A and B are shown apart, each in its own frame.
Chain A
């Protein structure tokens, strides 16, 4: 791209000609406030607080929607700019009822930051949205109309990014309101619409109006209950994202601090979900092989779920909700394997409880997840094992960071801790679960190995890296040899990219779907901002963990094998802990 020279506040800057003024300023350390913009979406320029003066132009200009041009002279802090900017910020304040004491977003709040930075009162105008509703989506996500500043990022996330179209604007002018489309209303193409709980609205909301339905209060209560043994388990992707909340550089892995932080908060035991990701891989790879090798009887009227192809991953609960609601005919294609958090919760309350001689009913399992839909997953009735929930509460990365900040825990300075054994060991294959393509790659590593064990042929391919399924492309495809068969695999990176795959299901044998762009590292519960750049850095960090691990295949995790071996001897319990069922929802 052509290089151009511009001036911002008399500072000479060279930049490429394709960038907007807002971005150029940011890259050069010049702060311009903004609320409605997000790198995932085209500029909307509706908050009008990023206005600047451009020499030779009569009007103020929104810097987010104006490309830098050669020779441009821009002023970001003239009296004229300040006056307009501050008034618009004050007007926005009055749209947002402050709920600071319990707001997980408080420490990062852009509104409070602007008030402080520009020394403006947040109460110049009386609040006007006191009677607005709070819309709750399942038990996962909510949009609090009393806090909404009408920037529409949530609608862009739901429509442009995820293509779910569950959110819409009702009314106009000052009466407009973001609302869910009328319950199960017929959509444009004659199809019903429902939320899949992915939380992309929440991770794109600049003011915490769209947010997770919090569990941290309940977790605090549990931690204060002396009769309970409160156990934490944290997801693969947390360790490469939570550092951002504490000014640790993007993509730095902070596994040890996560563990120490959890212990500081009072969790008696801390387990790594990576351990269970290896379990999930084992179960899922096994099932893939069974399906690949089972002969489908084309004449049979009865669908045998164990031979339906292609097989889909099911560790993304938003994707599962999508299938159950939008494509229930594909339920037999979902792997019956439970997800890592549910696997680990189940193993904690059976295998580990027995080992520790604890009544499972006294254990409270808290998951720290990058995800809002995991709240929905953990409360699915079919997850119960002998009447006990495998996971009791799910907090997001943001809720976890909030709990740390609330307790004045200086995360960056925490000493590196170690997880409790034996549920702490993991392979590199588990580490990459947090990124799009990771589950696929892990399953392929193990499936190839398992197939070799079964195959009579000595010609047996076993690979470690499957680079075709990595990266940020919306759809990734490749063909992999497993058990002498060419297995056609696809990875869907973000539910917005699902349609072309659904139209050509016969072209594939195994498909990974992650509802959020980038996979869990871009999940709806992750730190804000989550942008193409942060997703890339987080995912790179995951692959570094994998690369540096001695064990890089799930089946080489001895502790996982031990737990699976124990389960094998427990009769019906094995299936209850490892597998699940799905149901049509509409």
Chain B
């Protein structure tokens, strides 16, 4: 069986967080009727709370390089880049270069200050081309109009690692999980991808004995789930962050997420540049307009330019709906009556 059919059969999905079918993506690049093609391995790992790509680069770099070589070979790509953050470059750069050998793969260090958005697929292409690091308008998609206008395959570190396993028939439907937060045994683990959050926390002896909630798939853009919702699988970039309810006050959490987004917004589109600015303004106000707060979040998922902008409401809305709404009024450090108003405003969330 050729590699493409193997990938298809293994039902590989992208491990950058979007879980897009690897076979479909490869096929789109393969089919693009242009001779010059590129492969890019996204090793930016800019999402807070996700460390599995670094773990893979430390322990299985040969798999990653092998996966890339397979992609280059399959697509007839002219050149490939490992787009890598500076920290990982310092730690694993030498090893990667020695593994690459004579293959047409180049390490490209993620520009300093390019931040969170610097890890977004099309921002990476801009970075390599020396342009302003921010997402591109889609369509056209990178699969047909990527690096220097050529069809480009952008996959994540873990995805290439899995491709290599599939090629040597060693893939066992496992994925890497980063566990962090209020737990004793944080770190990166490998388990079957069918495991539930609950099972993973228990298996790693991280299941708390205090009131808690979790954030899944990234500490910035990930979804917040309550204890009653842990029977699902882990989504996104495969992270589980444990939060103690007592330790993390609602205002602090909302502030934490919004501070992150206001600093990391590239500023290209109105709903993100202006919207997040106003969200922060509302939280600082003596008399917050929660209705407007909700409208601005809705507006981000409705009209933001890129996936990261659309993800801004995810932690906030899910936290309010799944956690805040179920907390007793007296345990919330918000003015009396705020909870009721917030819950009213987020009924539809």
Contact = CB atoms under 8 A, between A and B. Distances in A.
Interface in A213-266: none
Interface in A64-87: 65, 80, 83-84, 87
Interface string B245-278: 0000000000000000011111111110111111
A60 B305 CA distance: 11
Interface stretch (A166-174, A335-343, A410-418, A420-428): A166-174
A45 B137 contact: yes
Interface in B287-312: 295-296, 298-299, 302-305
A175 B263 CA distance: 10
Contact of A88 (B265, B276, B303): B303
B132 interface: yes
Contacts of A87: 271, 275, 295-296, 299
Contacts of B298: 83-84
Contacts of B275: 87, 91
A62 B139 CA distance: 11
B274 A174 contact: yes
B305 A59 contact: no
Interface residues of A, number: 31
Given A45-B137, A173-B262, A51 B302 contact: yes
Contacts of B299: 83-84, 87-88
Interface in A342-373: none
A173 B276 CA distance: 9
B267 A173 contact: yes
Given A51-B303, A84-B302, A173 B266 contact: yes
B137 A43 contact: yes
A44 B262 contact: no
Given A51-B303, A174-B273, A150 B267 contact: yes
Given A60-B303, A88-B299, A174-B277, A48 B262 contact: no
Contact of B267 (A47, A84, A174): A174
Contacts of A46: 268-270, 305
Chain A CB within 10 Å — which of B276, B278, B305 has the most? Answer: B278
B273 A176 contact: yes
A95 interface: yes
A45 B139 CA distance: 11
A83 B295 contact: yes
A103 to B, nearest CB: 22
Contacts of A175: 267
Nearest to B265: A173
A94 interface: yes
Contacts of B264: 173
A88 B303 CA distance: 9
A376 to B, nearest CB: 30
Given A60-B302, A92-B274, A150-B273, A174 B262 contact: yes
Given A45-B137, A88-B270, A174 B305 contact: no
A198 to B, nearest CB: 23
A173 B273 contact: yes
Interface string B309-328: 00000000000000000000
A172 B134 CA distance: 10
A65 B303 contact: no
B270 A45 contact: no
Contacts of B304: 48
Nearest to B132: A169
B131 to A, nearest CB: 11
Interface string B118-143: 00000000000000101001000000
A558 B275 CA distance: 65
B303 A91 contact: no
Contacts of A94: 274, 278
Interface string A500-523: 000000000000000000000000
A125 B280 CA distance: 13
A44 B266 CA distance: 14
Interface in A270-318: none
B266 A172 contact: yes
Interface of B: 115, 132, 134, 137, 262-271, 273-278, 281, 295-296, 298-299, 302-305
The 7 closest A-B pairs by CB, nearest first: A91-B274, A176-B267, A173-B265, A173-B267, A174-B277, A48-B303, A84-B302
16 contacts: A45-B305, A46-B270, A84-B298, A84-B303, A87-B275, A88-B274, A91-B270, A91-B271, A91-B278, A125-B274, A125-B281, A150-B267, A172-B134, A172-B265, A173-B263, A174-B267
Given A65-B137, A128-B277, A150-B267, 16 more contacts: A44-B137, A46-B270, A48-B305, A51-B302, A83-B295, A84-B298, A91-B270, A92-B274, A125-B278, A125-B281, A150-B273, A172-B266, A172-B267, A173-B265, A173-B277, A176-B273
